[in-house]
Amino acid sequence: MTILRTMRNFSSMNIAASILLFVAAIAAAIIANSPVAPVYQEFLLHELHLQIGDFNLLSHGGENLRMIEFINDGLMTIFFLLVGLEIKRELLVGELSSFRKAALPFIAACGGMLLPVLVFMSICPPGSEGGQGLAIPMATDIAFSLGVLSLLGSRVPLSLKIFLTAFAVVDDIGGILVIAIFYSSHVSYGYILVAVLLYILLYFIGKRGATNKIFFLVIGVVIWYLFLQSGIHSTISGVILAFVIPAKPRLDVGKYIEHIRHTIAGFPVMESGSIVLTNEQIAKLKEVESASDRVISPLQSFEDNLHGAVNYLILPLFAFVNAGVVFSGGGELVGDVGIAVAAGLLFGKFAGIYFFTWLAIKIKLTPMPPGMTWTNLSGIALLGGIGFTVSLFIANLSFGANFPILLNQAKFGVLSGTILSGLLGYIVLWIVLPARRRK
């Protein structure tokens, strides 16, 4: 019941976040093709300063970060920190915590990463114009795909939600590895060495029971700056930071409950009609607050605190600055890159997820989860083609400002592939799922 309640709460949040993300993307496309497009472009290229003397934290290689770079390389590090926290939780206690749980979503995710790349390569081979974008259709957007799935409410078996979440998390791991390996260049090992020492410091401080989130964030900002200067993409610093944040609370739940009961039993009685607490009462309440902080692990606390900021601020901002597709003629909009990305998301993701899952079950490597059928699996496989956030992110890394036409095509491919996958996935599931399920 607890898992079911958690998934319901998570689903309602994902619906709102997905709508906001979609609205931000549509707004970006409209503004990019309107008379105020120059203002939009000026906003994207506006330089930022966070300076003390001659030192500017928001700079790279002596150049000030522009707004689009600050969002993509700075704020998106917080998104990847949250992704890292979710991955760590899934590996420790979630759907990736054992071979039995992880086998099927891992296999599905492998197919969902391999087949889109092959589809992309069939249209834009390596070495051709646009060939460097082959990783764009690999990713599945967890929030967006779960948001679409959540529109079907209680008709969706819990096993399907868990399966989609689990293989999307594995997809994220694949996307992170791709970014770390293929989108880093001219590595400055001095910066990396200092960052590694800081990670080690955080790890051992965490092992000693430190739970101060501000401390971890301050050191995290320092590490982010070191990565920004190092040549390894700065968002990777957020993922690694997640893995040194302690997952174990300082206070056991049983001891916490016992402590709270003892504190409440000894709480000074208030005088009738009094609205002002005594110093002794305030001290007791602070004792309860301190104990509550210690019973929640830093990992869970960070994850809970970051969800709102990421889903309702950072991702909509990211969508707004990156989804501005310019409809300036068919030749610049619907090219090989756009077709390859859209086909990879729509056909590659579907074929990879469905076929690899079918194969794993047929050869009895893993059983089919209860509630899953071959027909509703087809709908989930289609939802896997909702790439959006990470796909747009990799598109920017692949083409950036040096290839604006190819980047525009890639954006169009991501948006069209995501919309078609989401729409078809929803329609298939709406048709094949029972009209109503017991709550």
Nearest to 251 by CA among 287, 301, 291: 291
Q: Per DSSP, what are the bridge partners of residue 64?
A: 59
User: CA-to-CA distance for 141 and 135, rounded, in angstroms?
Assistant: 14
Residue the block writes with tokens 């899952």: 357
User: Are residues 253 and 295 in contact, defined by beta-carbon separation less than 8 angstroms?
Assistant: yes
Q: Which pair of structure tokens corresponds to residue 323?
A: 């989804």
What is the model's pLDDT at position 330?
Answer: 47
User: CB 254: neighbour CB atoms within 10 A?
Assistant: 9
DSSP assignment of 45-67, as one string?
Answer: T-B---EETTEESSEETTEEPBH
Q: How many residues are there in the chain? A: 439
User: CA-to-CA distance for 98 and 301, rounded, in angstroms?
Assistant: 24
What is the model's pLDDT at position 32?
Answer: 92
> Which helix or strand (DSSP H or E) is residue 418 part of?
helix 404-432
User: CB 282: neighbour CB atoms within 10 A?
Assistant: 11
User: CB 165: neighbour CB atoms within 10 A?
Assistant: 21
Nearest to 14 by CA among 417, 379, 317, 311: 311
> Domain map of the chain by residue range?
250-266+276-294
Residue-level pLDDT, tens digit, the chain, 439 residues: 444 454 455 455 667 888 898 899 999 999 999 999 999 999 999 999 888 888 889 998 788 999 999 999 999 999 999 999 999 998 998 888 888 888 999 999 999 999 999 999 999 998 888 889 999 999 898 888 988 988 888 888 888 988 998 999 999 899 889 988 888 777 889 999 999 999 999 999 988 877 788 999 999 999 999 999 998 889 999 999 999 999 887 666 677 677 777 777 777 776 666 667 777 777 777 777 766 667 788 898 899 899 899 999 999 999 999 998 888 754 468 889 999 999 999 999 999 999 999 999 999 999 999 889 999 999 999 999 999 999 999 999 999 878 989 999 999 999 999 999 999 999 999 999 987 544 4
What is the model's pLDDT at position 67?
Answer: 95
Which residues fall within 8 angstroms of residue 326, CB to CB, at 6 or more apart?
32, 33, 37, 332, 333, 408
What Rg, from alpha-carbon coordinates, does the chain have?
24
Report the Cα 195 to chain-centroid distance in Å.
23
Q: Which pair of structure tokens corresponds to residue 405?
A: 């036409």
User: CA-to-CA distance for 57 and 220, rounded, in angstroms?
Assistant: 13
Nearest to 116 by CA among 302, 378, 340, 372: 340
User: CA-to-CA distance for 392 and 417, rounded, in angstroms?
Assistant: 12
What is the model's pLDDT at position 287?
Answer: 72
User: CA-to-CA distance for 207 and 209, rounded, in angstroms?
Assistant: 5
User: CA-to-CA distance for 219 and 196, rounded, in angstroms?
Assistant: 12
User: CA-to-CA distance for 26 and 12, rounded, in angstroms?
Assistant: 22
- Residue 65 DSSP symbol: P
